[in-house]
């Protein structure tokens, strides 16, 4: 069977491998000049940066691709588990090291915040329970096929929905269980992993810490782009053909069946098409003559970000790979984003890989990926908001770390929500597709298949099960299973 895949993001790459392993003849079309999508890299002078995702969890989903192809993952892709998942900083001098080991993390919290370690352990145990009840059921299966709901495991999970906190917010769950405001804030920030608001997102998302403190947080050797590079090279070894700098203009449909793609005036016949393009643009640009799923396309979008890539001519040993410098008023920060603007005291995330990846920065220097959560693009004055946020972030870093970084920035690149849209094809710059700010959000994402068009499938962060590397990989897995079942 001939299969066309539109987009060489991580979900498209994983889909290419899975289709090739199933015996398909696979072509991947990508408008950029190389693979990876958001998960790509670039160089600024002597500093290397990963463009997008900076956190790697659930590496088993990458390893699985190699095993499907009959290869040993370790021969082609290596990564190390981070002993410290994240370092947290507050303006009053409080600092917490989130050890990967749950007991060590709980002990650290008890020491720094003077709260019982049992609160953290109980919270993580609850996250583990929710994962075992619902995680594999709702993340690894299509929610839009009848067969899913007749599965005994799914039926058992449905009976346990009342205990999954679907109808309480993340914040409400955390306040009742954790009580200390700094600890609540620390756990609330996990909502940002899929671009959601912890004061609106369902309590089921309290499952997220389980991925870090049970499965672990990792960094691939060579940085995050190594994920894309390894899967791309695996696809090549499986015979997949890649067409870079090639923009698809239309998905061809005849009598309700996808029959290929059009590039310029040239039609290319295929028996099935998999779109790793944002669902919104897939319909609006590639399927303009087909019925549009307006309810899905008009759903609330996830947050976006302002990202500053800084080459820092100094070292900050107090920073780890992942670091959060918290806002003093977290509810006000999210309220500002709900209104479409940036808060005056933003939470600042700093990722640096130079202390772990040789060559990411010159000796005595560091590569900083500085991200501040932002609303998606609605025509705001991003030049003004970016300048204001940059100054506020630098001031906050100076207050908390005690050093003025302005004179230390020797290289800089900036991404705003409009640039994120133009660079990655994410509608309105939303990093994770639709938001997860309602109890039924997981069920309202676009399916991994088209109900109207046979042979058309969808993968990536704008389709089920959502954004982030593990979920994008799972979208490819679900789609592969659907294709195999016919």
Rounded-to-integer distance, Cα 227 and Cα 357, Å: 14
Evaluate the omega torsion of the peptide bond into residue 465 and state whether it is cis, within 30 degrees of 0. yes
Which tokens belong to 297?
């396309």
DSSP 3-state of 307: strand
Task: List, in sequence order, every residue forming a beta bridge with 371; answer none if it has no partner.
Answer: 307, 349
Residue for token pair 């790793």: 276
Q: Domain 2-39+221-299+437-485: which CATH class?
A: alpha beta
Rounded-to-integer distance, Cα 429 and Cα 302, Å: 9
- 325 within 8 A of 348, measured Cβ to Cβ: yes
**Which of 430, 436, 428, 442 shows the shortest CA–CA distance to 478?**
442
Q: What pLDDT is recorded for position 137?
A: 67
Q: How many CA atoms lie within 13 A of 223 on its CB side?
A: 26
Indicate the DSSP class of residue 328.
S
Q: What pLDDT is recorded for position 441?
A: 72
pTM of the model: 0.95
Rounded-to-integer distance, Cα 278 and Cα 282, Å: 6
Give the β-pairing of 272-275 and 2-6: parallel
The full DSSP string for 442-456 is HHHSBPSB-SSSBTE
Q: What pLDDT is recorded for position 385?
A: 98
Instruction: Read off the pLDDT of residues 414-458 as tens digits, 9 standing for 90 and up.
Output: 999 999 999 999 999 999 998 888 877 766 789 999 999 999 999
Instruction: Read off the pLDDT of residues 221-265 as tens digits, 9 standing for 90 and up.
Output: 999 999 999 999 999 999 999 999 999 999 999 999 999 999 999
What ranges do the domains of the chain cover? Answer: 2-39+221-299+437-485
pLDDT in tens, the chain (486 residues): 999 999 999 999 999 999 999 999 999 999 999 999 999 999 999 999 999 999 999 999 999 999 999 999 999 999 999 999 999 999 999 999 999 999 999 999 999 999 999 999 999 999 999 888 876 667 776 666 655 555 656 556 555 666 788 889 999 999 999 999 999 999 999 999 999 999 999 998 999 999 999 999 999 999 999 999 999 999 999 999 999 999 999 999 999 999 999 999 999 999 999 999 999 999 999 999 999 999 999 999 999 999 999 999 999 999 999 999 999 999 999 999 999 999 999 999 999 999 999 999 999 999 999 999 999 999 999 999 999 999 999 999 999 999 999 999 999 999 999 999 999 999 999 999 988 888 777 667 899 999 999 999 999 999 999 999 999 999 999 999 999 987
- 5 within 8 A of 12, measured Cβ to Cβ: yes
Q: What are the start-end ranges of the E strands in 375-433?
A: 409-415
Rounded-to-integer distance, Cα 433 and Cα 426, Å: 7
Q: What pLDDT is recorded for position 46?
A: 98
């Amino acid at each position: 069977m001939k299969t066309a895949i539109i987009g060489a993001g991580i979900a498209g790459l994983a889909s290419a491998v899975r289709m090739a392993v199933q015996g398909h003849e696979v072509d991947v079309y990508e408008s950029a000049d190389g693979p990876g999508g958001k998960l790509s890299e670039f160089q600024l002078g002597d500093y290397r940066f990963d463009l997008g995702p900076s956190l790697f969890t659930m590496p088993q989903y990458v390893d699985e691709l190699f095993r499907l192809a009959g290869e040993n993952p370790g021969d082609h892709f290596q990564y190390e588990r981070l002993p410290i998942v994240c370092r947290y900083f507050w303006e009053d001098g409080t600092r917490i090291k989130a050890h990967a080991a749950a007991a060590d993390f709980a002990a650290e919290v008890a020491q720094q915040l003077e709260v019982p370690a049992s609160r953290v352990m109980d919270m993580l145990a609850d996250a583990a329970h929710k994962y075992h009840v619902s995680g594999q059921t709702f993340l690894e299966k299509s929610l839009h096929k009848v067969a899913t709901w007749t599965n005994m495991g799914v039926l058992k999970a449905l009976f346990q929905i009342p205990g999954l906190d679907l109808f309480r917010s993340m914040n409400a769950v955390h306040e009742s269980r954790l009580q200390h405001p700094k600890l609540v804030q620390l756990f609330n920030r996990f909502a940002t992993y899929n671009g959601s608001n912890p004061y609106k997102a369902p309590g089921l998302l309290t499952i997220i810490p389980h991925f870090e403190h049970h499965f672990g947080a990792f960094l691939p050797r060579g940085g995050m782009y190594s994920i894309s590079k390894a899967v791309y090279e695996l696809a090549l070894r499986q015979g997949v053909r890649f067409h870079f700098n090639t923009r698809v203009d239309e998905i061809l449909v005849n009598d309700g069946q996808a029959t290929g793609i059009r590039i310029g005036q040239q039609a290319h016949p295929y028996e099935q098409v998999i779109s790793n393009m944002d669902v919104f643009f897939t319909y609006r640009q590639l399927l303009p003559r087909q019925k549009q799923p307006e309810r899905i396309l008009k759903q609330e979008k996830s947050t976006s970000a302002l990202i500053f890539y800084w080459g820092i001519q100094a070292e900050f040993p107090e920073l780890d790979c992942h670091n959060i410098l918290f806002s003093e008023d977290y509810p006000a920060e999210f309220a500002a984003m709900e209104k479409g603007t940036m808060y005056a005291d933003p939470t600042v995330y700093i990722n640096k890989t130079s202390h772990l990846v040789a060559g990411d920065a010159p000796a005595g220097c560091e590569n900083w990926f500085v991200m501040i959560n932002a609303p998606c693009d609605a025509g705001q004055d991003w030049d003004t908001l970016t300048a204001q946020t940059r100054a506020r972030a630098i001031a906050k870093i100076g207050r908390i770390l005690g050093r003025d970084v302005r004179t230390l920035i020797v290289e800089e690149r900036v991404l705003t929500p409009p640039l994120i849209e133009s660079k990655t094809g994410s509608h309105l710059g939303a990093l994770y597709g639709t938001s997860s700010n309602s109890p039924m959000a997981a069920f309202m994402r676009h399916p991994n298949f088209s109900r109207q068009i046979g042979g058309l499938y969808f993968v990536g962060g704008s389709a089920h099960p959502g954004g982030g590397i593990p979920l994008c990989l799972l979208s490819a897995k679900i789609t592969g299973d659907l294709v195999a079942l016919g």
